[in-house]
A and B are shown apart, each in its own frame.
Chain A
């Protein structure tokens, strides 16, 4: 399989008033064409910085990113990003249809744009909402619009920055399955960043585990689950449980204290019996987020909020609207 994305020795440092902060410390990994690779790491470990470097939005201070062989220097023309905070990435003054057409304006004429957008919206099950405005839709629907917009653009590489972290648990499952489906239909290469261990294993062909800040690649794991995944049977399979436990241990840098296996890493065959409590993902993550205020602080606030795991507690949080967006839009009369 040809390599779509090569990340070599990628490093990023911020200069802030209390010295230098290292966000990324020499990351290297590849993504092959047609693959879905998940990057999982603790909150605040520099995942967003990583995606922004890969997408060319910021320039890394060391190392290199290559997209189908070409060094990324500025934003590549065949790349799309889906951000976590859908309410701040859809344009509120444009209808759903026009949001999806937005990136196509340069390359396609009106009829083609319309047709592409219609197809993409149909793919994500929003054919009927084309004339609505983003703020008239629920959070999950808004994120589907963002996904449709990225698909309509037909990127060689689709980057997703915690795309499902701001929706409720049920919507999240739906969107995960939607992503797996459209990915096959569009044959897209996807690099998805998440802090959620289960999600990384459920969605990925491979999982790249990052360390706490400054981010390094701890290990890359192959996910040998059947291509056809199912929210219930896949998640209860032994292979899934074993993999998520391994990712959890790698994330914490040592065997977890309460893990039923006791000694060292489990082999893929021997699964911890009660491995599905979601606590592992939220444990050591807050410590890292105090560092580096210059990186995307809103991302931190948002992901900290979204942290309580999907296993129940935090269902209907921030429906419809994303987190920080409203406060910025208030108070518009000023002298």
Chain B
């Protein structure tokens, strides 16, 4: 309760600073609209059909990308985490691919997928795969050998040990990876919309508001919506994680 109150105080303070700076005339008129104006635009936008469609386009692309990233990275991480030889072979390739910024792959993606939503989904998947993959690999490494020994001593073979011991004990780490990836994927989706235009979405709305008409109030309102979506996604996943892995939080906190 106290934390919620403090969080709200921080938010209100931030908005107040925005309001004061916006009205002070430090920046040329129209560059830094005051908070109240941005909030008004935000409410208006949420009632505008075309904007809501943009919002849906972004959220949908994000959800699809995250789903694909999970479907790719979790099995790959399990495999690489359980077979050390394979992990060593894959390491150099992974370390080469991972630092490549997804936006640098925009030209390639446009050539392959065109300028439809496939491009932004592909690039978001590319960026979102890594945190999940790495967390899954490390999680498999972190499985307590004595838990495995316990299961083996009761006669469980490789596959039952994997599904009944390794998977559940790795699950909280994997969930953290998914949460990190969710934020990354949203950033990439909006960025690609902004940079490559094409298929609608929040990013393109921001691009059009700024380049065509220079409406910074609309730009900030669009940015605020992206921020709110990101916040909700993270908070929702965090909540789900806490609910699902009470045991993990409990064993971790007690030290």
Contacts and interface: CB of A to CB of B under 8 A. Distances in A.
Interface of A: 52, 55, 57, 75-77, 79-81, 83, 85, 88-89, 91-93, 102-103, 106, 133, 135-136, 153, 159, 298, 320-321, 325-330, 332-335
Chain B residues touching A, majority SS: helix
A48 to B, nearest CB: 10
B251 A329 contact: yes
Contacts of A153: 154
Given A83-B146, A83-B150, A92-B248, A332 B254 contact: no
B10 interface: no
> Which size bracket describes the interface of B in this complex?
35 or more
A89 B150 contact: yes
Given A326-B254, A335-B131, A83 B154 contact: no
A92 B169 CA distance: 8
A103 B176 contact: no
B96 to A, nearest CB: 17
Interface of B: 130-131, 134-135, 138, 142, 144, 146-147, 149-156, 164-165, 168-169, 171-173, 176, 180, 245-248, 250-252, 254-255
Contacts of B248: 92-93, 329, 332
B251 to A, nearest CB: 5
A88 B147 contact: yes
A77 B155 contact: yes
Contacts of A332: 172-173, 176, 248, 252
Contacts of B153: 55, 57, 75, 79-81, 159
A93 B169 contact: yes
Contacts of B180: 333, 335
A96 B251 CA distance: 15
Nearest to B173: A332
B180 to A, nearest CB: 7
Output the residue of A52, A153, A329 with the most chain B CB within 10 A: A329
Interface centre among B131, B138, B153, B173 (most CB of A within 10 A): B153
Given A80-B153, A135-B247, A332-B176, A91 B254 contact: no
Given A75-B155, A334-B135, A335-B134, A329 B150 contact: no
A334 B134 contact: yes
A334 B251 contact: no
A330 B255 contact: yes
A155 to B, nearest CB: 9
